[in-house]
Amino acid sequence: MANKLWEKSVEVNKEIDYFTVGKDRELDLCLAKYDVMGSMAHITMLESIGLLSRDELAKLLDEMRKIYKLAEDGELKIENDVEDVHSQVELMLTRRLGDIGKKIHSGRSRNDQVLVDLKLFTRDRLMHIVEKVKTLFDELQKQSERYKGVLMPGYTHLQVAMPSSFGLWFGAYAESLTDDMLFLQAAYKMANRNPLGSAAGYGSSFPLNRTMTTELLGFNSMNYNVVYAQMGRGKTERNVASALAGVAGTLAKMAYDACLFNSQNFGFVRLPAECTTGSSIMPHKKNPDVFEVMRAKCNKLQGLPAQILLIMNNLPSGYFRDLQVIKELFVPAFSELEDCLDMAAYIVNRMEVNEHILDDQRYDAMFSVEEVNRRVVKGIPFRDAYKQVGLEIEAGNFVPDKKINHTHEGSIGNLCTTEVAALMKQIISGFGFDKTLAAERKLIGNEK
């Protein structure tokens, strides 16, 4: 039997085969369990429209659950002469069940098969990203509350500007993640639509029940128009990549701050010794490599949407093999971002702050606005108070009062930590993970 689903009487040139398959066998292992899930839903639907008998369906589902377990445990292999995971699964079923295994592809193309695999993979990996973003969010909020009374300089133009606090600094990145989570939610909802049944992009003459497969796989809805379902390949990945890039942007900025604040010239934060690296020549060095690597990886991830756009841009409707190359960029991106989120949460939890920054007189001038405001409260016009304090600074006569009283929402004395936490909770509840997870458990047999 040919090990390519499309192969007939002519064997493809080996060099052409190697070039066009590329890294598909390796990457398809990441999609294997999702391919099995999609096939289980598809054949359940085929039985409902009379293209499989009840006995055939039972045998196929039993074997597919075994293959799913292999894939989940990382033990499924794609053989060297087999083109992709779709071919491997069908080959394994045919070896075990004979002609019954050849029936699973009715009403389906590898085009909608890989589409559903990528949708299932993406929504699952987004669940993990959401969980890890929430973990980092919680760590940032804890540190924000822990150090809310510790002042630090705020900067504009990298010049000492006004009083800030570590409560504000940690809390700012926590709230940034809430906006990033909104993009993740939009990406998840786009991924959570069912393309199965669109076949090669033009539907099928079989009376497929696409509503049934949508429900079996726990999708929120289907991609209704079959041409658009195919057009969604690349578009979904690009938009999901944009959501991942949003999180990466927050991490990259935080990593830059941490590297800056950890340096001797600032001395605002200290990383645990075991989380730094040394120099081969300078015995005193304790380098923040973890944040530097994080910054580089996250900056690379921020370029991912543009890479995907350049691959898919200006392609007309319909399927093209160009889209396969997107997998090489897209699939590994989740693990890379997860690693960065894990490291960020780990380091933020252990980061220590300098509680005596303001003992250094170089930061005295940052209290100038506080003094101007005090004089305004006493009745001096703002512009006059501004000039008075400015002249005192120039003359070297300014004596700062380092006691400040910021009370409005989101300020040093009113971080709104509870409100930001409630916002994050509301956003996460909008994903609707429970419905999807329940459908998956029922389909693979972990729940009756």
How do beta strands 193-194 and 221-222 pair? parallel
The pTM assigned to this predicted structure is 0.91
d(CA 209, CA 165): 58
Counting every residue written for the chain, the total comes to 448
Residue 322's pLDDT is 86
Query: Does some domain include residue 287?
Result: yes
Instruction: Say whether both 235 and 346 belong to one domain.
Output: yes
Domain boundary among 78, 103, 128: 103
pLDDT of residue 1: 40
Q: Is residue 2 part of a domain?
A: no
Residue 15 has pLDDT above 90, yes or no: no
Domain contains 8: no
Query: Which whole number is the average pLDDT over 187-200?
Result: 96
* Residue bearing the bigger pLDDT, 420 or 1: 420
- Which tens digit of pLDDT belongs to each residue from 415-448? 999 999 999 999 999 999 999 999 999 999 865 4
Q: Give the model's confidence band at 2: pLDDT under 50 very low, under 70 low, under 90 confident, else very high.
A: very low
Residue 143 lies in a domain: yes
Check residue 7 and give its pLDDT: 54
More reliable by pLDDT, 281 or 436 = 436
Spatial contact of 129 and 247, defined as CB atoms under 8 Å apart = yes
Is residue 8 very low, low, confident or very high in pLDDT (cuts 50, 70, 90)?
Answer: low
Determine, yes or no, domain membership for 34. Answer: yes
Same-domain pairing of 212 and 95: no
Same domain, 432 and 353: yes
Confidence band of 10 (pLDDT split at 50, 70, 90):
low
Question: Which is it for the CA torsion 121, 122, 123, 129, positive or negative?
Answer: positive
Same-domain status, 375 and 439:
no
Q: Last residue of a domain, which of 103, 134, 168?
A: 103
- Domain boundary at 80, 103, 126, which? 103
Domain count, the chain: 3
CA neighbours within 13 Å on the CB side: how many for 67? 31
Is a pLDDT exceeding 70 seen at residue 248? yes
Place of tokens 């997998």: 327
First-to-last C-alpha distance (Å) of the chain: 37
State the pLDDT at residue 321.
82
Same domain? For 256 and 314 the reply is yes
pLDDT value at position 287?
78
Is the same domain home to 315 and 434?
yes
Contacts of 220 (CB under 8 A, 6+ apart): 189, 192, 193, 432, 435
What pLDDT shows up at residue 309? 95
136 and 228 within one domain: yes
273: closest CA among 282, 257, 262, 281? 262
Q: Which domain holds residue 278?
A: 110-359+409-443
pLDDT range class, residue 271, cuts 50, 70, 90: confident
Q: Residue 369: name the closest of 395, 415, 406, 410 by CA.
A: 406
Residues 270, 173 share a domain: yes
Q: What is d(CA 143, CA 215) in angstroms, rounded to the nearest whole number?
A: 42
pLDDT tens for residues 308-359?
999 998 888 888 888 889 999 999 999 999 999 999 999 999 999 999 999 9
d(CA 26, CA 11): 22
Strands 159-165 and 193-194: unpaired
Asked if residue 403 is part of any domain, the answer here is no
* Percent residues over pLDDT 70 in the chain: 93
Q: Are residues 154 and 254 in the same domain?
A: yes
Strand pairing category for 352-353 and 269-270: antiparallel
pLDDT of residue 38: 96
> Is residue 400 domain-resident?
no
Q: Are residues 289 and 389 in the same domain?
A: no
**Which domain CATH number covers 162?**
1.20.200.10
Q: Look at residue 18 and tell me whether its pLDDT is greater than 80.
A: no
pLDDT of 448 reads 42
62 within a domain of the structure (yes/no): yes
Percent of the chain with pLDDT over 90: 81
The pLDDT of 218-223, averaged and rounded, is 96
Closest CA to 122 of 173, 43, 195: 195
Residues 293, 388 share a domain: no
424 and 367 belong to one structural domain: no
Mean pLDDT of 215-223: 97
Query: Rounded mean pLDDT of the chain?
Result: 91
